[in-house]
Structure 1
Amino acid sequence: MEETISLRELFAVLRKRLWLIVLITIIAATVSAVISFFVLTPVYESKTQILVNQAKNDQQLYNPQVVQTNVQLINTYNDIITSPAILDKVVKELKLDESAQSLKGQIQVTSAQDSQVAQIVVQGTSAKRATEIANTTASVFQKQVPKLMNVDNVKILSKAALGENSSPVKPQPLLNVAIAIIVGLMIGVGLSFLLEYLDNTLKTEQDIENILELPVMGVITTIKDVPKATNVQRPDLTARVPQRGETFGS
């Protein structure tokens, strides 16, 4: 016989294992908060923008062919910025204790579709160092482009600035805790239903009917033993023999 579970039974299972669901959720949130605040290293982000424009006058500035050429050059420039030809000079200029390959993992070059503006994004464990790397990379690239491409069409549109109260972009403790709570609830609910499924003990008359496929005719309840009285006075049932000259009832 196919077993079906009603919505009421589902809520009954959740209510029965509510302590387990709450416990797992609290543990998951606590572990996530501890890791986010005390274990993970804060990562800061700094950005600088460069403009690719080889137009010499207003007529060329709005020429679709010239604009398309600049857009296509950005894709090439994105690869050049993260190449050893640029990053080796950045490492040397800033006297960094890391290789160009390691520095490449911290730099990301992005640009919007059909845009002549490219953005150099640097992430690092120090806000000041990330700002220095971003500005130095843009400056070195601007100086090296004429030598590498034989063109001078790169301008620094905006430099990376170090804020007074720079906040890390990751980790995000509140987001991590929220995700941990959701995951903890899912694990707790799933584990509750799993334990209920593995529990094959008989608890109700309905369980017996489902297994035997027979109706329950009656239920014998548990009767507790009545405690025996210890200080109850018993009547004196011994017969008394009357003495001479004495009658019953006198």
Structure 2
Amino acid sequence: MKTTKSINLLELFDIVIKKWWLILLLTMAGFATAYSITAIFVTPIYEAKTVLFIGQENSGLASIGISLGQLEADSQLITDYKQIALTHLVIDEVMKNTGMNIAYNEFQKDVVIETVKDSRLFTVGFRHTDPQIAKMVSDELAKQLTLAVSQIVGVENIRILDQATVPQKPIAPNKLLNAVIGGLLGLFASLFIVIIMFLLNDTVKDEEDIETLIGISVLGSIPKFKREAK
């Protein structure tokens, strides 16, 4: 009659210690494989940002008084301007002036608009695989947004403070993070293999294994003698 092998945690821990080299090997293999795949096959994405300022119409930066109520009003304006930046009115002009030829929805996905907390500043950015294109589109997007606001709202209260710079480092992918995830997958795979090896190992080692295998108690055992040298 075939019996199911029970899991002895001490034995399992012992085989894990003995197979440390396999666990380390598969963990390092997972780390290196994930890093290599990310570096070779995943295209890096760059993000450029143009900084804008919301002020009062026809006023300089230094002459604008800031109050809590004004900040709240400007926060609402920024929300409105975010939506305007994603309209066909703005995006179509940007694509025409930059020579880009992609779908409107795809362009929208690459636009990044963020506010600067407790200020009238916000950024208009664009993500692309080419850092030069990211910078060019970001600046053009900011320019067309200021024109659209003037046309729709009837005021000229947006000023471009800083043109975008050409990004030097990609924002994605995160090679280290992917490599760590790959290493963890390798670790889990190695532990799974070790456990399977433990469960499939039916070698008889001692009296307890014999009792488990045949289901009866062992009455005695033959001791092992060392052969005497002649």
Structure 1-normalised TM-score? 0.74
Aligned length: 217
The answer to whether the 8 Å contact 1:60/1:66 transfers is no
> What aligned pairs does 1:136-147 form with structure 2 within 5 A after superposition?
136-147=140-151
The answer to whether the 8 Å contact 2:38/2:173 transfers is yes
- Bigger Rg, which one: 1
CA distance in 2, matches of 1:170, 1:133: 19
CA change 1:157–1:23 in 2 (3 A) is same
Aligned-pair CA distance for 1:71: 0.8
Q: Deviations over 1:59-101 (max 9, x none)?
A: 8622322221101111111121122211110000111122332
Q: 1:131 aligns with which of 108, 122, 135?
A: 135
Give 5+ residue unaligned stretches, structure 1.
224-250
Aligned-pair CA distance for 1:31: 2.3
Partner of 1:190: 192
Partner of 1:31: 33
Identity within the alignment, %: 24
Q: Which has the higher contact order (CA 8 A, sep 6+)?
A: 2
Aligned-pair CA distance for 1:169: 2.2
Partner of 2:15: 13
Say which SS state the counterpart of residue 61 (structure 1) adopts.
Answer: coil
Give 5+ residue unaligned stretches, structure 2.
1-5, 226-230
Aligned-pair CA distance for 1:109: 0.9
Runs of 4+ in 1 over 6 A off after TM superposition: 57-60
Partner of 2:202: 201
Q: 2:114 aligns with which of 110, 113, 116?
A: 110
CA change 1:4–1:102 in 2 (3 A) is closer
AA in 2 matched with 1:15: I
Aligned-pair CA distance for 1:221: 7.2
CA distance in 2, matches of 1:159, 1:77: 18
CA RMSD in angstroms, aligned pairs only: 2.8
Structure 2-normalised TM-score? 0.80
The answer to whether the 8 Å contact 1:111/1:118 transfers is yes
Partner of 2:161: 157
